[in-house]
Structure 1
Amino acid sequence: MSQENGVDHGPAAREVATPPSQEGRLERAIGAEVRRLRRASGATLAEMSVRTGISKPMLSKIEHAQTSCSLTTLARLADALDIPVTAFFRGADTEREAVHTRAGAGARIVARGTRVGHDYTLLGGLRGQHKRMEAHLVTLTERSEEFPLFQHPGTELLYMLEGRMVYSHGESNYELLPGDALQIDGNGLHGPRDLMELPIRFLSVVAHPDAGIEE
């Protein structure tokens, strides 16, 4: 599915997770990696203390981001775990976005063919370089004699939640029942062909190709 006109934003359509404060972010990232790598090695705090010569209370403070590590301390930890020092900085300089859409609060998509009884609700879509996937909840409650056909780059996955319909893709038609899934190449013309049992609800998840990469 592809929108062509605009978006009618409902109340509280997007709730973006607030990142933790910048203060102490490096300590938290390092502490989390130290704990993860220590556990992955099977070592207890006491065993790590023996290996590194760092006291157990100090190791606990490092893992819980209650103190800052010197490079010398990180080097000793890295030697004990047989990893490069840079491994402790994984994820320390990157913030990740998340979109939380509450029930009934998604943005309503106004696209070609949108009409009474045909509702397209955006459930989530990250911005910028991460906008490679969009999820929509599609609800069809009114029969139509004509249906819009969609075409877009990327891949689309349909998952039926309720009702029964025939969905067309290119020259092929597929009967979809609750629990059925249909994955299609978005470049082929596609859309509902026959609404057999109303109401119909299905998820539409579109994976966009990377910018600059032709399919």
Structure 2
Amino acid sequence: MTDQQEIRHGPAAREVDRPAPNEGRLERAIAAQVRRLRQASGRTLAELAAAAGISKPMLSKIENAQTSCSLTTLARLADALDVPVTSLFRGADTEREAVYTPAGSGARIVARGTRVGHDYTLLGALRGPHKRMEAHLVTLTERSEEFPLFQHPGTELIYMLEGEMVYSHGESSYPMRPGDALQLDGEGVHGPQELITLPIRFLSVVAYGEIPSGD
């Protein structure tokens, strides 16, 4: 065997033949759903195959992710199982991020206003390739002649939980009481203007737009 042949049949060739990381994901998801639904209905392979008008060996291959069945076959299986055909695809999507913060476990953040009785608790930050969201529980316990103002990208939702205050955004002012909500453009200068009834607690959720990737 020549050196050229060794290169052609060596690691480079094996790299080409390597399966993609997500290969077979759809087949495995369909297999799990069909098997689960069939077992929940109390039917055997033969019974479901007959109801769907397909062979028992074909159904066995589907439940073992050994074949890619047609949409027609999937529709027949969905009809036989009395479920929407879309339910057979559950679990085929890529995993999605979620952030869970139990009560009292949010991180305390030192920010502008902390020294004048503003407490910021991070309830979670959801970050992805095209989006980001951050949620804070803000507690105001002291009055002050000056309050910090904020300006940031994205859109912010403020939902009042306790107390009463006046909140400013740009040239406008809004009275905020429990149950009131204010959505604002974060690029506009905003922040508490007057604290009327203490303590004040409100939920602040900032949803950032698409974050451009670096070069």
What's the TM-score, normalizing by structure 2? 0.67
Residues 47-94 of structure 1 show CA distances to partners (whole Å, capped at 9, x for unaligned) of: 774223255xx68x97xxxx522216x336325269xx9996665361
Assess if the C-alpha contact under 8 Å between 1:125 and 1:131 holds in 2: no
Separation in structure 2 between the aligned mates of residue 109 and residue 28 of structure 1, nearest angstrom: 44
Separation in structure 2 between the aligned mates of residue 123 and residue 161 of structure 1, nearest angstrom: 15
Separation in structure 2 between the aligned mates of residue 164 and residue 139 of structure 1, nearest angstrom: 12
Between the two proteins, what is the percent identity of the paired residues?
67
Q: Does 1:115 align with 2:111?
A: no
Separation in structure 2 between the aligned mates of residue 190 and residue 155 of structure 1, nearest angstrom: 12
Residues 181, 69 of structure 1: alpha-carbon distance in 2 compared, 3 angstrom cutoff: same
Separation in structure 2 between the aligned mates of residue 103 and residue 171 of structure 1, nearest angstrom: 36
Residues 32, 207 of structure 1: alpha-carbon distance in 2 compared, 3 angstrom cutoff: farther
Separation in structure 2 between the aligned mates of residue 144 and residue 36 of structure 1, nearest angstrom: 61
Higher Rg of the two aligned structures: 2
2:66 pairs, out of 67, 70, 78, with 70
Over the aligned positions, Cα root-mean-square deviation in angstroms equals 3.8
Residues 186, 37 of structure 1: alpha-carbon distance in 2 compared, 3 angstrom cutoff: farther
Give the 3-state SS of the residue equivalent to 1:100 in structure 2: coil
Separation in structure 2 between the aligned mates of residue 118 and residue 86 of structure 1, nearest angstrom: 48
What's the TM-score, normalizing by structure 1? 0.67
Residues 49, 132 of structure 1: alpha-carbon distance in 2 compared, 3 angstrom cutoff: farther
Separation in structure 1 between the aligned mates of residue 32 and residue 173 of structure 2, nearest angstrom: 50
Residues 121-146 of structure 1 show CA distances to partners (whole Å, capped at 9, x for unaligned) of: 11111234265211111011111111
Q: Does 1:92 align with 2:99?
A: no
Give the 3-state SS of the residue equivalent to 2:30 in structure 1: helix
Residues 173-213 of structure 1 show CA distances to partners (whole Å, capped at 9, x for unaligned) of: 10000000011111110000001000000000111011139
Separation in structure 1 between the aligned mates of residue 50 and residue 130 of structure 2, nearest angstrom: 41
**Counterparts of 1:60-209 in structure 2 under 5 Å?**
67-71=63-67, 74-75=69-70, 77-78=73-74, 80=76, 91-92=91-92, 94-129=94-129, 131-209=131-209
Question: Which structure has more RCO (C-alpha within 8 Å, separation ≥ 6)?
Answer: 1
Residues 184, 37 of structure 1: alpha-carbon distance in 2 compared, 3 angstrom cutoff: farther
Assess if the C-alpha contact under 8 Å between 2:131 and 2:211 holds in 1: no
Residue-pair matches, total: 177
Separation in structure 1 between the aligned mates of residue 53 and residue 209 of structure 2, nearest angstrom: 47
